[in-house]
Amino acid sequence: MSLMRQVWLLVLGVVLLALAGSVAVSTFSTRQLLQTQLQIKNSDNASALALALSQQHGDAELMELLISAQFDTGYYQSVVWRKADGKLAFERRTSAQSGKAPAWFVSLLPIAVQPGVAQVSNGWNAIGSVEVLSHSAYAHDELWRSLTRMALLLGALALLASAAAYLALHRIRRPLDNAVAQARAVVEGSFQIIEEPHVPELKGLTQAMNAMVLRVKSMFEAQADQLQVLRVQAHCDPLTGMSSRKHFLAELESALTRDEGPLQAGLVLVRLRDLAGLNQRLGRPAVDQILQAMAKAVMAYPERVRGCLAGRLNGADFALWLPAPDVAAETAQALADALHASLPAFGGGIQVALGAVDLPRESAVGVWFGEADAALARAENQPGFVVESINASAPQQRAQGERAWREQISDAIKDRRGKLLQYPVLDREGRVLHLECPLQLQLEEAGEFEPATRWLPLAVRSRLTADVDLLAVSLALEAIAQDGQQRCVNIAPTSLLDGNFVARLRDQVFHAPQAARKLGLELAESAATNHFDLLFEMGRQLRPLGVKLGLEHAGAGLAQVDRLYQAGLDYVKLDVSVVTGVSGDAARAAFVRGMLVMLRSLALKVYAEGLRDAMDVQALWDCELDGVTGPWATARLKA
C-alpha cells in the first residue's frame, strides 16, 4: 500500500473516530437528559394526581374515575393507587409500546426510570399512595431521531473532511510523483528539471533534486567533453586534426562493408611533393602551415557532404573518400585549383600531385589504394599542381532505368520475396544476446537473394525504404514467434522521413505483442545526429510495446548529440572503425573506455561490431563491453 494511501486512510480513520466519539457522547448525553426528564415527569404527574385524589374526600369511585381519566390522556405505562396498608386499591396498566426506534437500538440504549410516587390524603389522614410510570418508547423515538440527524450531519462533515484530505494529499503527492519520475529519468539517462511546489518541505526536496540533476547533467557533459579529447588523441593527427592513417583505413573499411551507400564511390589521394626539400628551404614551421592549409581544403568536403571521409596518411599524403559515383576526378581538379590559389602564398617551389579513382564500392581496400597510387604516381611525373584520374567503375549488371528497379523492388516487397540472415551478438560467456538480421531480397522470381548493398541505394532513391523495413520487421516477428530468439533488424534513417512509417510500424508490432518484446530495431548513428526528433518519436511510440531501440555504427558522432540522454535508446553498437586495433593502441582503448563510461551513465548496453581479431575482442572484454559481433563472433558460435 502506498504511503499516500496510508496517510489518507489514517486521516480518514482519525476523522471517523472523532465523529464516532462525538456521536457516542452526544447520544449518551441525550439519553441521560431524556431519562432525567421522564423521571421528573413521573414525579410531577404523581404529585399532581395525588393532590387531585386528595380533594375527593376518600370517594373511591371518583378517585378511580380521576385515575382513569389521567391514564387515558397522559401516555402512561401504569398508574397504581395503593391504600395506606399497601394493598392495591386500583390500577391501570398497558403493555410496553413499540415506537419507531429499532429494537436493537432500544436494547442497546435502555431508558430505565423509577415511577413517581406521591401520598394521597383525606384531610389530615393518609389514605394511600399513587405511583405513576410513563412510557419510554417516546423517549427512545426522540433519541433515535436525534441520533440519525446527528449521524447524517456528521457523516456529511466526514465526507467533506475526507475530500479535503484527499485533495490536500493529492497536492502533496504531485510534487512527490514528479520527484520520483525525475529520479527514474536520471536512472534512464534523462535529465529533467521539475517545477518547485509551494509546500516549504517539498520545495526543499525539489530544489535538492533539481540541483542533483543539474550536477549529474554537468558531469555527463564533462564526460562528453573528455570523450572528445580522447577521440582527438586516439583518432586524429595532432598537426592537422584530421583522422590518422589507422583510423581513416578503419573508417573506410567500415564504409565499404555497410549496406547503405552508393554502388560506386571515389577516392582522391593528395601529396605535397618534395616534403624534405620544402623543410630545408622554407623551414618546418612554414611547412606545417602548408600542411594545415591543405588539411583545411580537404576537410571542407566532409564538412559539407555527409558520408565523406578524410584523413592524413603520412607526413605529405592526404586521402579523401567520396560516397558518390563519377565525382572523384572533378573533385580532385577542384581541390587542385583551390590549393594552387592558396599555397603559393607560403613560398615558391610548392607542388601538389593528386590521384583520383572511381571504383565499385565492393572493391577491397587494397584495390582502392592500388589504383589511386597508380594515378598519383603518374601525377608526380609532371610539375606543378597535377591531377591524374582512373575510372575503373564496372558497369552495373542490370542496364535498366530507375523505373525498372523500382518495379523489381516493389514486386519483391509485395510478394514477400525476402529472407533474413542471422549473425550472432555474443556476451563474454559466449551466449547469444540477439541475432542481427540483415534483409536480402529476391529481385527476380527464382533468382538469387541479393544483399542490401545491391538494392538499398536504389530503394533509397525510389523512396521504398519504409516498405522494405516493414517487410524486414514482419519477417523478424514471424521468426521470433517460431523459436523465441531475440532478433534485431536494421531501419534505414530515410524511413523516418516517411510520415506514415512509424504509425504503420507500431500497428504491425501491436498485433504481435509477444514477439515484439524480443524485437530490436537498429538505426545508424546518423539518425541520432540528423533526425533526432524523429528518432525520439519512434522510441516514444514503440518502446512501451516492448521493442528495443539501438544505434549501430556509433562513433565519435555520439558525443555531438546534445540530447542523447533523451533519445530513449536501449543499446549502442560501436563502429568497427572505433574498436579495430584497440588491443595495441592505448589511446584507442582509452577512448573506448570513455565511450563506455558515457553510455553506461545513460543506462545503455554497449556492443562492438565488425570484430575480426581475437586480441581486440579480449581487450574489449577487459573494458567490460556487454557483447561483440562480427566474423569473430560468427566463427566462435559455429565452433
Ordered by start, the domain boundaries in the chain are: 3-159, 264-391, 402-638
The pLDDT of residue 234 is 79
Q: Above 50 in pLDDT, residue 399?
A: no
- State the CB neighbour count (10 A cutoff) for residue 6: 10
Topology, domain 402-638:
TIM Barrel (3.20.20)
Q: In sequence order, which residues have a C-beta less than 8 Å from that of residue 358 and are 6 or more positions away?
A: 264, 265, 266, 325, 326, 327, 328, 329, 389, 390, 391, 392, 393
Q: Give the pLDDT band of residue 345 (cuts 50, 70, 90).
A: confident
Cα–Cα distance list, 486 to 86, 92, 493, 514 (Å):
105, 97, 22, 11
Percent of the chain beyond pLDDT 90? 34
Q: Which residue has the higher pLDDT, 620 or 214?
A: 620
Q: Can you tell me the distance from the alpha carbon of 451 to that of 256, in angstroms, rounded to the nearest whole number?
A: 13
Worst-scoring range by mean pLDDT, 201-215, 274-288, 333-347, 538-552? 201-215
Residue 6 has pLDDT above 80, yes or no: no
**Cα gap 608→620, rounded to integer Å:** 8
- Report, in angstroms and rounded to the nearest whole number, the Rg of the chain calculated over CA atoms: 48
Q: What's the sign of the alpha-carbon dihedral 22, 23, 27, 33?
A: positive
End-to-end Cα separation, the chain, in angstroms: 53
d(CA 249, CA 251): 5
Contact, 592 vs 554, CB < 8 A?
no
Q: Given this chain, do its domains 264-391 and 402-638 carry the same CATH topology?
A: no
pLDDT band at 405 (very low <50, low <70, confident <90, very high): confident
pLDDT at position 410 over 70: yes
* 8 A C-beta contact, residue 568 and residue 545: no
Structure confidence at residue 260 (pLDDT)? 72
CA 496/CA 598 separation, integer angstroms: 26
- CATH superfamily for domain 264-391: Reverse transcriptase/Diguanylate cyclase domain (3.30.70.270)
Dihedral angle of Cα 241, 246, 249, 250, to the nearest 10 degrees: -100
- Side chain identity at 607, as an amino acid letter? Y
Least confident stretch, 54-68, 356-370, 500-514: 54-68
Give the best-scoring range by mean pLDDT among 85-89, 156-160, 612-616: 612-616
Question: 3-159 adopts what CATH topology?
Answer: Translation Initiation Factor IF3 (3.30.110)
The CA distance from 586 to 593, in Å, is 10
Highest mean pLDDT (candidates 121-130, 285-294, 593-602): 285-294
Q: Which pLDDT value is given to residue 303?
A: 84
Q: Which residues contact 638 (CB under 8 A, 6 or more apart)?
A: none
Q: Residues 468, 440: contact at Cβ < 8 Å?
A: no
Backbone dihedral angles phi then psi of residue 397, each to the nearest 5 degrees: -65, -25
Give me the phi and psi of 534, to 5 degrees please.
-70, -40
Tell me what pLDDT residue 561 has: 65
Poorest-pLDDT segment among 11-15, 298-302, 466-470: 11-15
* Contact (Cβ atoms closer than 8 angstroms) between residue 639 and residue 603: no
Average pLDDT, the chain: 85
- Mean pLDDT, to the nearest integer, of 5-21? 75
Share of the chain above pLDDT 70, in %: 92
pLDDT tier for residue 397 given thresholds of 50, 70 and 90: very low
Does the pLDDT value for residue 471 go beyond 90?
Answer: yes
